[in-house]
Chains A and B, each alone.
Chain A
Amino acid sequence: GQQVMQIPQYQHVQEGEDFTTYCNSSTTLSNIQWYKQRPGGHPVFLIQLVKSGEVKKQKRLTFQFGEAKKNSSLHITATQTTDVGTYFCAGQGAQKLVFGQGTRLTINP
């Protein structure tokens, strides 16, 4: 069945450093969504990418969807302590949305 893999599983950075998490699917995706889960909280929708090669930005966050629509990335520029949390990608394959295992970001202030 469809699998969505995320790397790295954990990432620790110094405040101000950049951070990137990568998402790879075993099958071509119709779209990909990104969610953020703060410690102790629940996942919250960030963005959806639909088009091949699409790039979207939200302030310091940059989301990309690969040309083949099988991979995606989230890049955070100059991390802040408020960026702490787990970032999940979720890819739509044939029918349902499949979540990756998430990347947990911790930040040293």
Chain B
Amino acid sequence: GAGVSQSPSNKVTEKGKDVELRCDPISGHTALYWYRQSLGQGLEFLIYFQGNSAPDKSGLPSDRFSAERTGGSVSTLTIQRTQQEDSAVYLCASSLFGQATYEQYFGPGTRLTVT
């Protein structure tokens, strides 16, 4: 079946502009996660959704970052007034349930470049 999809695959934006990144999880997966990965670095946790609610937003780096999930499916990560340090690959993952015993399926990521 279809895996996790993300769009756009690449996004180049000017500093100060807002961007929206989209994630379509695997159908039926109740949990959805956003991570950020800078070049050659590890995975930085941003936010976790269980259904449409976000019980863990602890990783959002600043109030310029927000995310929502609707219909227990699609999620969007919005970055307002982008800065150059926001440049990274943004990865979305989903799992069947939110308990950490379930493996996470990652999407291909959105490469964000802020010029």
Q: Is A30 an interface residue (CB 8 A)?
A: yes
With both beta carbons as reference points, the residue of chain B lying nearest to A48 in the complex is identified as: B103
Q: Is B40 an interface residue (CB 8 A)?
A: yes
Residue-wise interface mask of B (77-100) relative to A, using a CB-CB cutoff of 8 A (1 in contact, 0 not)? 000000000000001010000001
B-side interface residues, number (CB < 8 Å): 19
Is the Cβ of A45 less than 8 Å from the Cβ of B105?
yes
Q: Is A61 an interface residue (CB 8 A)?
A: no
Q: Is B25 an interface residue (CB 8 A)?
A: no
Is the Cβ of A30 less than 8 Å from the Cβ of B42?
no
Task: List the interface of chain A (C-beta within 8 A of B).
Answer: 30-31, 33, 35, 41-45, 48, 50, 88, 90, 92, 95-102, 104
Nearest 9 CB-CB pairs, A to B? Answer: A101-B42, A92-B100, A97-B100, A45-B103, A42-B106, A99-B43, A102-B42, A43-B106, A42-B108
